[in-house]
Amino acid sequence: MFANYGYKDGSGEFFISVDTGRCAGCPDKGCVEACPEQVLEVITDDYDDQVIAVREEHRKKIKYSCAPCKPTGGTKEIPCVAACRLGGLRHSW
Amino acid sequence: MVVNQADKPKEYWRWTEYNWFDPSRDWRKAKIISGGVDVGSVSTQAVIMLDGELYAYSNMRTGSDSPDSAIKAMKWAMENTGMKMEDLTYTVGTGYGRVNVPFANKTVTEIACHARGANYMYGSTVRTVLDMGGQDCKAIRCDEKGKVVSFLMNDKCAAGTGRGMEVFANLLAVSIEEVGEMSLQVEKEPPPVSSTCVVFAKTEATGLLRAGWPKERVLAAYCSAMAHRVVSLLERNGVERDFAITGGIAKNIGVVSRIEKELNLKALKPRYDTQIAGALGAALFAKALVEKGKG
């Protein structure tokens, strides 16, 4: 499943997409620890898979929550995406 | 001093609440009586299924107390059936207020429930589901079993939701149940209301009314804007045949026909009440959990 967390507003599209098919097979979920803003968490989804999700409190402000890790914040590579060994995590912006 | 009060204004946004049950079936003969409760931001639905077949449901407005709304909805669905709450084998809660369903054995997200419910309502050929709820709008793609493949949700603004439509029904003093038909009574389609935000769209509509636009034309402009808004959500998530719409707005022919026109794709004709899709999916999850031995 592709779970898209985020929103689209007048300033653009801001979604974090999780490929839960890949994510469920990842034993360490390194992306959760890699995120300095604690945006991600491990949940048990509706199909009983252990996958990551964007925390509820960040879903409507994801553009701002993730801003420190974007190139304008001086980062070359987004830490959570870099930590995802299976390529199951993507940012739309 | 005598103060003359004007009559209380009519609530044009208020839709009809109702319940239903199948009197030809005897629930006492059922092996699994599964319940599903969808506590939404605007409406609450309760569904009862007997061995996976729809038996009873109710649809009512969510009050300020979610647990109370859930109990009232389930009791109303049971009305005239002789069934009691303790007769339910297993119940799943879903929707915005799912964590506040006191008698639910488990909670499942409304995204998974709408996909499962649409699969039951429209058949296994459904691949794209658009749920137009009271306070959010969801684009869901699912497989032949009703399992979610991908989803996208707009719950950040009221554009494309039932609440947005209620605002317009009240503004134009048109019953919410007549908005769709009325919006189609225009000779030529007007340009859509340009504002994305419902608050600004309302301001814009007020300006159009002052400029002499008839109500039908203003409603057409708003329905068109709403359709455009949800189509962009659908296209971002991908659209695949067959396509179905659930939720309250699925009953608004003005919005549905404009979505179909923009997508160049006909939505499947509903065989059941589109508002119960979430609760129906929850009841199907409840049955599946009992069969898996988790109930």
- Per residue in B108-137, pLDDT (tens digit) is 999 999 999 999 999 999 999 999 988 888
Least Cα separation, residue A83 to chain B (angstroms): 23
Q: What is the pTM of this model?
A: 0.89
Q: Are B200 and B208 in contact (CB under 8 A)?
A: no
ipTM of the complex: 0.79
Q: What is the mean pLDDT of residues B167-176?
A: 90
Local confidence band at B294 (pLDDT 50, 70, 90 cut-offs): low
Q: What pLDDT score does B280 carry?
A: 97
Interface check for B153 against chain A (CB to CB < 8 A): the answer is yes
| Distance separating alpha carbons of residues B119 and B55, to the nearest angstrom | 17
Domains along the sequence of chain B with CATH: 18-116+276-291 (3.30.420.40), 127-267 (3.30.420.40)
Q: Which of A72-76, B64-68, B143-147, B189-193 has the lowest mean pLDDT?
A: A72-76
H helix or E strand, kind and range, residue B56: strand B53-61
Q: What pLDDT score does A8 carry?
A: 84
| Distance separating alpha carbons of residues B166 and B226, to the nearest angstrom | 13
* Sequence-distant (≥ 6) Cβ neighbours of residue B157 within 8 angstroms: A9, B196, B197, B198
Q: What is the mean pLDDT of residues B35-47?
A: 94
Residues of chain B with C-beta less than 8 angstroms from the C-beta of A63: none
Question: Which residue type occupies B2?
Answer: V
H helix or E strand, kind and range, residue B73: helix B66-77
Q: What is the mean pLDDT of residues B70-92?
A: 96
* Sequence-distant (≥ 6) Cβ neighbours of residue A85 within 8 angstroms: A26, A30
Interface check for B288 against chain A (CB to CB < 8 A): the answer is no
Q: What pLDDT score does B293 carry?
A: 82
Q: What is the mean pLDDT of residues B18-47?
A: 95
- Per residue in A24-50, pLDDT (tens digit) is 999 999 999 999 999 999 999 988 899
Q: What is the mean pLDDT of residues B183-205?
A: 88
Contact state of A13 with B236 under an 8 Å Cβ cutoff: yes
Least Cα separation, residue B182 to chain A (angstroms): 29
Q: What pLDDT score does B125 carry?
A: 96
The answer, yes or no, to whether residue B198 has pLDDT greater than 70, is: yes
Domains of chain A, residue spans:
2-91
The answer, yes or no, to whether residue A73 has pLDDT greater than 70, is: no
Residues of chain B with C-beta less than 8 angstroms from the C-beta of A7: 154-156
* Sequence-distant (≥ 6) Cβ neighbours of residue A89 within 8 angstroms: A16, A17, A18, A19, A23, A31, A52, A80, A81
Q: What pLDDT score does B295 carry?
A: 60
CA dihedral B207, B208, B213, B217 (to 10 degrees): -140
The second-level CATH assignment, the architecture, of A2-91 is 2-Layer Sandwich (3.30)
* Site from B152, B195, B232 to mutate, A interface, most A CB atoms within 10 angstroms: B152
Q: What pLDDT score does B133 carry?
A: 87
Local confidence band at A76 (pLDDT 50, 70, 90 cut-offs): confident
Enter the tokens of residue B175.
Answer: 């019953």
